[in-house]
Amino acid sequence: MLINIEDIDVKELSRIYDSENRDSFISLYLNLDNLDDRLIERRKNACRLALKPDRDLLANFEKTMQVVDKYLETERREKGQKAMILFASCLNDFFRAYKTSISTDNLLVVDTSPYIRPIARLIDEYETFGLILLDSHRAKIYVVSSGKVKYEKKTAKDIMNKHKKGGWSQARYQRLREGAIEHFFKNVSVDARKLFSKDNVVKIVIAGPGNAKLAFKNFLPNEIKEKVIDLIDVEFDDAEGKLVSDVVNIVSEDEKKMSDKNVSKLNDEILRDGLAVYGLKETIDAVRNGQVELLLISKGLKVKGWICERCQAVEQGVKTKCPYCGSKTSEVDIMEEIIEFAKRTDTKIEFVEDNPVLDELGGVGGLLRFY
């Protein structure tokens, strides 16, 4: 069954790791529309060579890959499926598989824990949003999740046409018609609130012809109205696919603006010595302690470091032995570890693209909940 990317329990995945610091978890991301078998085979062979000095880990890798390959052989691709994501470790008796409608890069990683960075990025890029399409007597309410229309609710009401007779009768009918439209807008507002609250919609676009959308916005409760990012002019009967595609672009542009705004806020907080942190070590400590409300990471940033899964120490550079508890360490991408800490502490993560201010700050920082 297909799963929406935001429904993957990343918090659960972030809490799973090999307590013995063994590279025992296989994370496999497959783009089913552009599957690169040669890349996967090269990665398998590279992992075998890297694990060869440790017979137990090599045996676990081979056994786990057999489980993964068997699963892939027996599972059928579903309609609309773009990718397969798997996490597995025989040593830790762990297996998770997810079918999604969002494409991913082909990737195979062996580490001490499930590699969740690609999922965190996709969740950030494909936030659930709402779309309300309406005129004065018809409405469609959409919830768009993982880039696809999750469901829609259609609403229609017979609104009396403008009365053509003059005098008192015309004015009376106009008042009745305006009252009927107002009642219709109130009903659509109630439906939208129920749907959007249920699905944790974070952004909303209202579309339609003429002034109906402007009038309708005033009937939305404040908690819904403040999520409206744009009103666009379209005919009610325009192609649904193009409309949804256009709104996806609007939401993406708004996300870029919000990212830049948050980086600017981070910079301002740093200047006034306020609720902000930046730099690898400082950000790692703050995230691990649950102090960070919003974590900002430059897209594509990777930093080589090490982790001790026993005491959860993480630092930049190379060390084979933890200086704090003496346990064996593992080589990691520090950004992956920061993301795992963030998911464990319910920190919102935002991946920022092409922002020189954040790059100058080391590519990572956070807005704090408290000092």
Which amino acid is it at 258? M
Give CA–CA dist 161/156, Å, rounded.
Answer: 15
Domain-by-domain residue ranges, the chain?
A: 1-116, 127-238, 258-371
Q: pLDDT tens, 208-267?
A: 999 999 999 999 999 999 999 999 999 988 878 888 889 989 999 999 999 999 999 999
What's residue 160's pLDDT? 56
Per-residue pLDDT tens digits for 151-193 = 778 887 766 555 455 555 666 666 767 778 888 999 999 999 9
For the stretch 25-72, pLDDT in tens is 999 999 999 999 999 999 999 999 999 999 999 999 999 999 999 999
Contact 335, 341 (CB under 8 A): no
| HEC per residue, 106-130 | CEEEEECCCCCHHHHHHHHHCCCEE
For 280-335, the pLDDT digits (tens) are 999 999 999 999 999 999 998 999 999 988 888 999 999 989 999 998 898 899 99
CA distances from 304 to 113, 235, 307 (A): 16, 52, 10
> Domain 127-238 has what CATH class?
alpha beta
Q: Are 68 and 26 in contact (CB under 8 A)?
A: yes
Q: Give the model's pLDDT for residue 169.
A: 65
Confirm if 275 and 371 have CB atoms less than 8 A apart: yes
Architecture (CATH level 2) of domain 258-371 = 2-Layer Sandwich (3.30)
CATH class of the domain defined by 1-116: alpha beta
Is residue 136 very low, low, confident or very high in pLDDT (cuts 50, 70, 90)?
confident
Question: 41: part of which helix (H) or strand (E)?
Answer: helix 37-51
Domains 1-116 and 127-238 share a fold: no
